[in-house]
Amino acid sequence: MKLDFNKHPHRRLNLLTGEWVQVSPHRTKRPWQGQEEETAQNTKPEYDPTCYLCPGNDRAGEAKNPEYTSTFSFVNDFSALLPDTSNEEVNDSDLLIAKGERGICKVICFSPRHDLTLAEMELPQIEEVVDLWVKEYKELGEKEFINYVQIFENRGEVMGSSNPHPHGQIWAQETIPEEPAKEMRQFEAYFKKHGKTLLSDYLELELKRKERLVVENDHFAVVVPFWAFWPFETLLISKRPFGRFTDMTDEEKKALADIVKKITVKYDNVFKVSFPYSAGFHPAPTDGKDHPEWHFHMHFYPPLLRSATIKKFRVGYEMLANSQRDVTAEFSAQWLRDLPDVHYKKRG
């Protein structure tokens, strides 16, 4: 029997991790409609005197925020990683293995406005966020003991975000953490075999086939990757193969702001709610090596499934056996692609 992606249960290989995902497209025969629930509309104030991140306010610790008017970053008051700590390696009988880890955690506020999100911010303001990402990547990455700079955002209460004020985090550390480390192994193997970055060949295919393409501009494209796990997972890929934030031209930085706006607007339009997600960049490590294999990209992992209130849980089979999804990547891509490019709040 010939494998039909739209009918037959199958497994797809995640090229970035080397892990397989189980796809069960036949299950979508059960009712699966994106209901648009009337969830509470935005009633957040532009300034919240009780918010830890608003300009001029006291934070949870001793610090007080300046009256910032654009972006603002600071060392996390409750940092998970610390710069001045042991980096000793421990091996007790080959059974108890550990290593001290040095690092720095920061919080970055995207805007002084408490009520906005990346999707609702204007392009020039998102460009300032991009500039801050570049600056932090450079400054943190230049430190001798920092070999990876993980920039990310947890959006929305479902993702465990502690505060609605538009913000992200940076965890910069000594070791290349597990997710980018898996990618590095895959990138290296592909580059060795083909002499090109894995994602330049993959993107070329996606731009030709178009079935998983969501949105693009001159320098970036967003696809639902063939191996997506989360229902609305996307992968943002640079068209030019480069690895570092600091490799971007001014034009590419502007294009990055533009594509981030485009995809986040689409997300908000799915259920006409501020779409929750965890998203983050995978730039090249800052370990002083060249990394010609590395290809700059960003992941969006939204948890929502069928409606603004139904979340996909990674439980049961997925915890014990394998990642699994029902709708195909192609189905989700078309859904996202067909949504308007204008934010629902601006459409009246």
- At 268, is the secondary structure helix, strand, or coil? helix
Q: From the CB of 72, what's the least distance to ligand H2U, in Å?
A: 12
Can you tell me the distance from the alpha carbon of 255 to that of 199, in angstroms, rounded to the nearest whole number?
A: 18
For residue 248, what are the CA distances in angstroms to 94, 284, 342, 348? 44, 12, 27, 36
**167 tagged catalytic:** yes
For Zn ion, the closer of residues 183 and 206 by Cβ is 183
C-alpha–C-alpha distance, residues 151 and 155, integer Å: 13
Asked whether position 161 contacts ligand H2U by CB under 6 A, the answer is yes
Question: Does residue 169 touch ligand H2U according to CB under 6 A?
Answer: yes
Is 62 a binding residue for ligand H2U by CB under 6 A? The answer is no
Residues 163-192 that bind Zn ion (CB under 5 A): 183
Q: Quick one: which of 212, 261, 282, 291 contacts Zn ion (CB under 5 A)? A: 282
- How far is the C-alpha of 5 from the C-alpha of 211, rounded, in Å? 13
162 binds, among Zn ion, ligand H2U, none (CB under 5 to 8 A by kind): ligand H2U
Q: Which of 253, 7, 258 is nearest to 135 (CA)?
A: 253
Nearest residue (beta carbon) to Zn ion: 282
Which residue in the set 67, 77, 157, 218 belongs to the binding site for ligand H2U (CB under 6 A)?
A: 77
CA–CA distances in Å: residue 293 to residues 30, 181, 197: 42, 13, 5
Beta bridge partners of 109: 72, 167
Q: Which of 19, 42, 60, 97 binds ligand H2U (CB under 6 A)?
A: 60
Point out the catalytic residue in the list 8, 26, 114, 167. Answer: 167
Region binding ligand H2U by CB under 6 A among candidate stretches 76-84, 108-116, 237-245, 252-260: 76-84
Q: What angle do CA 215, 30, 263 make, to 5 degrees?
A: 15
Residue selected from 150, 154, 234, 269 as contacting ligand H2U according to rule CB under 6 A: 154
Within 8 A by CB and 6+ apart from 97, the residues are 90, 91
| Between 52 and 220, CB nearer to ligand H2U | 52
Nearest to 256 by CA among 137, 115, 159, 157: 137
CB nearer ligand H2U, residue 160 or residue 316? 160
Q: Which of 52, 99, 49, 101 lies closest to 78, judged by CA?
A: 52
Among 24, 36, 55, 59, binds ligand H2U (CB under 6 A): 59
User: Tokens 């992941």 map to which residue?
Assistant: 299
* Position with the least CB separation from ligand H2U: 59
Site string for Zn ion, 12-41 (x = CB under 5 A): ------------------------------
Contact, 179 vs 277, CB < 8 A? no
Indicate which of Zn ion, ligand H2U, none lies near residue 154 (CB less than 5 to 8 Å, by partner kind): ligand H2U
Q: Which of 237, 263, 232 is nearest to 325 (CA)?
A: 232
User: Which residues of the shown chain bind ligand H2U in the complex (CB under 6 A)?
Assistant: 52, 59-61, 76-78, 107, 154, 161-163, 169
Question: Any idea which residues carry the catalytic annotation?
Answer: 167
User: Which residues of the shown chain bind Zn ion in the complex (CB under 5 A)?
Assistant: 183, 282
